[in-house]
Structure 1
Amino acid sequence: MLRLAQENSTWGYRRIHGELLLGIKVAASTVWQILKDAGIDPAPNRTSTTWPDFLRSQADALLACDFFETRTVNGTRLYVLAVIEHTSRRIRILGSTAHLTASWVTQAARNLVMDLDDAGRHARFLIRDRDGKYPILFDAVLTDAGIQVVLTGVRIPRMNAIMERWIRSCRRELLDRTLIWNQPHLLYALREYERFYNTHRPHQGIDTARPLQTLPQPTTDQAAATRLDIRRRQRLGSILNEYHHAA
């Protein structure tokens, strides 16, 4: 093994595994240790762009999507599809349905493309998991619009962590505190949360900014700070609260 590893620093790893196809099983970590002990650096193709590097370099043109489920008071299961922009954290609720069909999901993709065009937003990649809810036409619609679909690894939800984190926030701040009567009521509540999330709620991931609203200028006058008139606006029966300066 050591002789094989020393033959070529680029192909040593592959040669070792190739020889072991004769019936000997060994962990990849063992092969790595052999190469390390032999003073052989990792091959160039194993020092390529990592997933975090890809996310950072393509953030401006990166979208992510996912499905999540909720139930009405009578037990009806409803499916929701949402998309988030990595850079701005802007969320888009593409819709909700009780009957998840290929045509519904495909139409949601078309709606997303039209919404991006109307907003003058250009995206190059969309991250999604390998859920069977996505039909072939979903990817085809996005590909025709110049958006490449990037699949996450098997059982690696952290590859879509920003989208997963939004779903967690939506559940904790809205769905876990609301009795959903039916599909129209769910869509209404989600639209309210979408507006709240995009225009008011601060996001730590973008320095407490909001996706669609700039931060106010900080108050430097201490005297003025003691005379602030802050008003509260309630949404969805006080489930969501917005605070702003009085006019």
Structure 2
Amino acid sequence: MYYEGLYSRRDFNQLMSALGANLNVPSSSPYFVRPAGAAPASSETVAYRFVFDDTDRNMGGRENNSLNTVGLTYDLDGGWAINSSLTHAKSDAFVHRVGLINSVSLAGALASGRLNPFSATAGSNPGFASLAAHRDQTGTNTDSSFAIKLDGPIYRISGGDVRLAVGAEIRHVGFEQSLTRECNHADANARLFGSREQQECKVDLLRTVCSARRKHERTSIHQAAGAFPGRAL
């Protein structure tokens, strides 16, 4: 009988660059300005980067991985043996992403003057707090399998023993992903999960060209999503 195990954990942090966008500033904004000599218009497009507004741009997360295997080998008479093993592996991760913008509320902030796209001074847009958004994402993957094999000699020839091996394996793979977004204090959740089962039976006659194998596989994927009031840039 034997056991094998593995575990690892990784934590990370990353400073993200400030988001940029082409903002459509309407004439109702108190900061609306047309370039000198330009024809009159009801709006102006401004290339803007939120580097002076978004002061929290750290993306962080963690990842855990584990693998556990238990096996058993039992010797029978006449050179026959039974080998079996049970394995379970799991990987899960979490990512917290900030520095996102609620694009639905962005138009209203521009029209009301809560956002001045012509400012290059830190803290000059206190209304940015109503636009800030973040996203939390988790993912889990599992892989479980059980295998059993019986093998041994059935007769002897000049080149050695002719051995027979009969075995079966069952494997189940599952995954789940979830996404939580917060835009202007409105939460939305989305989940995606599924599984895959694989069953396999094998019969191998060693030292001869004879092998029989039967395999069955089934996959299912499900998704559940909640209403999301604002799209994040």
TM-score, shorter chain, exceeding 0.5: no
TM-score w.r.t. length of structure 1: 0.19
Q: Which has the higher helix share?
A: 1
Q: Compare relative contact order (CA 8 Å, sep 6+) and give the higher one, 1 or 2.
A: 2
Greater strand share, 1 or 2?
2
